[in-house]
Structure 1
Amino acid sequence: MSLTSMLESAAHGGTVEVEEGWTQGRAIYGGLTGALMLSAMKGKLRDLAGSTGSPVVVPPLRSLTVSFVGPAATGPVDVEAEVLRVGSNVIQCQATVRQSDAIVATALAAFGRHRESSISVPPAHPMLDLGDPAAVEPFPYIKGLTPEFYRFVELRQVGGQMPFSGAEAADLSGWTALREAPERFEEEHLVLLTDAWPPAPIQMLDGFAPGSSLTWTIELIAEVGPDVVPADANLAYAATTDAARGGYAHTHAMVWRPDGELLAISRQTITIFG
């Protein structure tokens, strides 16, 4: 099942067959898990609009919060979504992913229509000068050494050090894209790519130790769609580690379009076993 097929299947709800290779360690890659739940919620909203005779227009995604409850293996997973409330401007939804009758991930999403407002504050974080992505060699996919999902996602690191290299700093930056461009770039693709980078603080470890996302929130600053983001776009990414202690780290990251427009802010709580 291709990425497009998995997202389309999730939009209908029910069982989705996750293709081999979409893993990170022993679990399905978290960015894909988030994208599947988002697709399920948008599918539920389209169904709701269709049942009431309303125009099938899903408002722009404003935020998505994912809690990774447990690991899920590739193969069949059950993805279900529910509309919690439809307001005059904002719609709230939730989704779950289950495998073998156990919840492995949950998500809450807020979709919001445009409002008239007198407040306008430009983004405080301009895009870093990361140079030309074509001048940076992407991470290779090496079976048994790199995450399996690197077969589908391309990362070009510019700032920071390699994971488990004993670095003194804990920030990270670079370019990311899908190796095979989709027909149309949608919010689901942004969600998938934003989680592709390794947790920024694990570069400080001087040897391998497990680490994984516990919770993850992505806040969309600008609208995302095929009319504003090219399907083959390299997105700029820069992560900052805000704090780390007691086996937990807290990071925030910015994601920009190639033209410098801020698309999203990503925030993570990360568990580190080392």
Structure 2
Amino acid sequence: MSIDQLIKQLETQSTITIPAGWGQGRATFGGLLASLMLSRLHATLGDLTQDRVLRSATISFIGAVAPGEVEIKAEVIRSGKSVTQASATLLQDGAVLAMLLANFGSSRPSSIDIPASIRPPEVKSPDDAMKFGYIPGLMPEFIQQVDLRWAAGALPFSGAPQADFGGWMRWKDTFPTMTRTHLLGLIDAWPPSVLPLLKGHANASTLSWNIEFLTHDLSKTSEHWWQYQVTTDYAQSGYAHAVAHIWDDEKNLVAISRQVTTVFA
């Protein structure tokens, strides 16, 4: 079942069955869970989403979510003149396994206008970049759902002298409108930034994730490419702190992603 189909189910119901094919080790792909929680939040906000869009969100992955039925509870915490704060909680078998705290805001006149100071690096085009193929047993199942093109930096577990990498991404399934909900899950498809340093396979997982969206209107379909570049700010004692920037195919900065990752190596 495609990401678009799963997202749409949460627009009209609070429970959903996570199908096979979305695994990430012993758990379900965290990007999918984030998109599902956000979809349920949009449904809960209703008419408020007509002029208020997701500006930032913090996601915590608390426990492993298995394929099967989950429930997502969403609530509005506070709604003011231009900003709404809301939360979503994902439960399975009565246990809280993921949470999302989101801030939705409408545009308003401002005398401050500072364009993005960081530009996308010049890398190979999606057609020339290396396609990140799926290898059963070595890669998480959900990789079959995304089209990743490696354009800069070393591959995971290659024993490289430097962390960090970049490339292009999009969903393999086609749908007419690429929303923030679709993009949220896609951004999480890349492996942790420090994995190229390792010489052999090791487990790593996201502890917390903060995402900030900059543009109001994405105006893209699922066939458009998104450029991704990640940088490690700090890594020690089994935790890595990284920031990633995401641009559209017209070099507009659309999102900033910050993650704390646990590394078992």
Compute the TM-score of the two structures, normalised by the length of structure 2: 0.96
The code of the aligned residue for 2:170 comes to A
Rate the CA distance shift 1:112–1:248 in 2: closer, same or farther, 3 A. Answer: same
Structure 2 counterpart SS, 1:35: helix
Q: Deviations over 1:34-86 (max 9, x none)?
A: 1001101000011xx4xxxxx76151110011000011011111111111111
CA RMSD of aligned residues (A): 1.3
Matched, 1:202 2:211: no
Q: Check whether the contact 2:35–2:185 (CA below 8 A) recurs between aligned residues.
A: yes
Q: 1:242 aligns with which of 213, 218, 233?
A: 233
Which residue of structure 2 lines up, in the alignment, with residue 258 of structure 1? 249
Unaligned residue ranges in structure 1 (runs of 5+): 50-54
Is the aligned partner of 1:232 residue 2:223? yes
Which residue in the other structure is 1:52 paired with? none
Residues 103-155 of structure 1: per-residue CA shift (max 9 Å, x gap): 11001000000011111111111011123211223111222221111111011
Counterpart position of 1:101:
94
8 Å Cα contact 1:187/1:224 also seen in 2 = no
The structure-2 alpha-carbon separation of the partners of 1:56 and 1:126, relative to structure 1 and needing over 3 Å to count, comes to closer
The total of aligned residue pairs comes to: 265
- In structure 2, give the amino acid aligned to 1:163: P
Q: 2:84 aligns with which of 81, 84, 91?
A: 91
2:2 and 2:230 mapped to 1: Cα distance?
A: 29
Q: CA deviation at 1:14?
A: 2.0
CA contact (8 A) 2:132 2:149 kept: yes
Quote the Cα distance in structure 1 between the aligned partners of 2:196 and 2:118.
Answer: 23
Match for residue 25 of structure 2? 25
- Alignment equivalent of 2:132, drawn from 139, 146, 151: 139
State the Cα distance separating 1:247 from its structure 2 match.
Answer: 0.5
Q: Percent of pairs identical after alignment?
A: 40
| Corresponding residue for residue 63 of structure 1 | 56
Equivalent position of 1:165 in the other structure:
158
Deviations 1:135-184 (A, max 9, x none): 22311122222111111101101112111111111111000011112221
Inter-partner Cα distance in structure 2 for 1:195 and 1:172: 14
Aligned mates of 1:195, 1:211 — CA distance in 2: 13
Deviations 1:176-195 (A, max 9, x none): 01111222111111101110
Gaps of 5+ in 2: none
Structure 1 ranges of 4+ moved more than 6 A = none
Aligned to 1:8: 8
> What letter is aligned with 2:233?
D
Q: Secondary structure at the match of 1:105?
A: strand
